[in-house]
Structures are given as structure tokens and as C-alpha cells.
Amino acid sequence: MKTRHYLLVGIIGISLAGVLFAGCAKKQSTNTNNSDDYTAAQDDQNGIAAIEDSKNISDGAAKGQANERMLSGCETIIRNHDTVVNSQTDSLIDINFGPTDCTCLDGRKRRGHIFVWYVPGAYWVQGQTIGMTFKNYYVNDIGITGVRTLTNVGVDSANLHTWSFSANLSLTYPNNGGTATWISNRTNTLTKVGGNWYYYVTGSASGVSRKNVAYSINITSPIVVTAWPWWLGGCAFLESGTVTINVTNLPTITASFGTAVGTCSSALTVTINSHTYNLTQW
């Protein structure tokens, strides 16, 4: 796919009237300290969750698995092949959940469109790019707007397949819950551990939380995500990883996902001001 082609798609995607789908991490501990604002940690996890969920759906749609294993029959998947732009042949997958809530087999309610632009076979071809954008897309009344780009950069020094990843999302929460932005540049490395395949994610992110506070994030221990979607035996949550979150005029936050690689846990542990809060991933 031509870079300028996807940039055009991305501009269109940003202008669409969608809202975010981010997750809703549930608070398990009582926050008794007003300075212990971990909203930025939740917004970052929600951004990751939004991208992983839409990637699983689009991968399933591309492989013909989505309808029978994950979705519910109220969605429509349209594949438009041989779309020629600037002499480059692309394909488009339009995953349309319709204008009203479609309850999927994972229990989540979705509506709106996910658009995926790609050259067939591009995922495994060095230098090729896969793009994603959204239109009026909601999950559980939380929406997503913005763009995501995944580029195959070949193999690293350990002969492991790697992809560069960038995303620029806006996450709008329901019931006037505010809007967060999430901008991320990361590297995904496909790694085999204990007979299973995982993506090890490194890199950084930045944004503005739904409380209108700027933050920046560094992954201090790789975020680990199963390569298989949950309907093929993978885990629906981030299994491991730690990030450090620097929030303007607030204490530094440390967030850890899951419990260990190979153990599928929804745990999200946040530490701030020496206080620990046990939350759950969406």
C-alpha cells in the first residue's frame, strides 16, 4: 500500500463521526488519596485494548474466521479486491456492525465500521503496510476514531519477525465521561515461548487523559500479547508487561499487566505514591 494512500485514508478516518471503544478498567480498591489519579494508566490500557481487539477482528475477517467464531451474524464483512490507487493494487475489508448494537460472541456490543486497507499477503512481506481506520465505531457505547499503521520491517538480529506500529486515536467515553488521546509508536516482535507464539511489544506512547492531563509512557518491561485471538485459544488480555507513566504535575505511575506469560489474567496493577490499586483490564 502506498504511504500517501494510507495517509489519505487516515485523514478521512479522523474526520469520521465515530467515538471510541476503549475498555473500562474496573476499580477494585478504594482510592483514598486525591493525588492518586491513575486515569492516564487506564486510558493507556484502553488504547492498547482498542487496537488489539480491532486487530483480532480484522485478522479474523481476512482469514474468513470472524463470522463463525467471534461475531454474531448481525455484522456484514465486505471484501473489495483490486482497488487501484496510484497504480498500486490494494484490498479493502469493511467490517460493518450496522447502526445499532450488534452483540458479539465475546459478549461485547459493537456498532459502526472497521476499515482495513492492505495488499494481500502484506503482513509477512518486508516493507509492506496495513492500515486501519474507523467510522461511527462503538464498543459498549465507547467509540474510537483515528488511524493505525502496521509495517513489516523484516527480521531482527535474533531472526524474529518484527513490525513497526503507530497509532493516533481519540477515545471518547460515554455519559460525558470525557475524551482521551493516545499516540503510540511501538515495535511488535513475534516470539515463541513454551510452544506458544506471542507478540512482545516495546516502545512508548503519549497523550492527554480524559481529565485533560498530558502524560507520556515508556514500556519498561515488554508487553506480552498472545499471537492467537481468543477464539483460537489465545488470551483476551495482556498477559505481562510494565509501563511507567509520567503525568503532568502528578506523581509517576507504574502499571503492570497480567501475572505471567502463559497465565491468562485480566489483572491490571497500578502503583502510585507507594499505594497499590488492583484493577482489571477491559
- Across the chain, which has 282 residues, the per-10-residue mean pLDDT values are 28 22 32 59 72 72 60 77 58 88 83 86 86 89 88 90 92 88 92 91 91 90 87 84 89 92 92 90 76
Residue 243: domain span: 3-280
Looking at the structure of the chain, the number of domains it has is 1
Return the C-alpha cell found at 137: 465505531
pLDDT of residue 35: 52
pLDDT of residue 82: 60
pLDDT of residue 68: 52
3-state secondary structure of 4: helix
Q: What are phi and psi of 40, to 5 degrees?
A: -60, -35
Cα 94 to Cα 58: distance, rounded to the nearest angstrom: 9
Are 134 and 10 in contact by the 8 Å Cβ rule? The answer is: no
pLDDT of residue 126: 92
For residue 247, count CB atoms less than 10 angstroms from its CB and return exposed for 0-12, middle for 13-18, buried for 19 or more.
Answer: buried
The model scores a pTM over 0.75: no
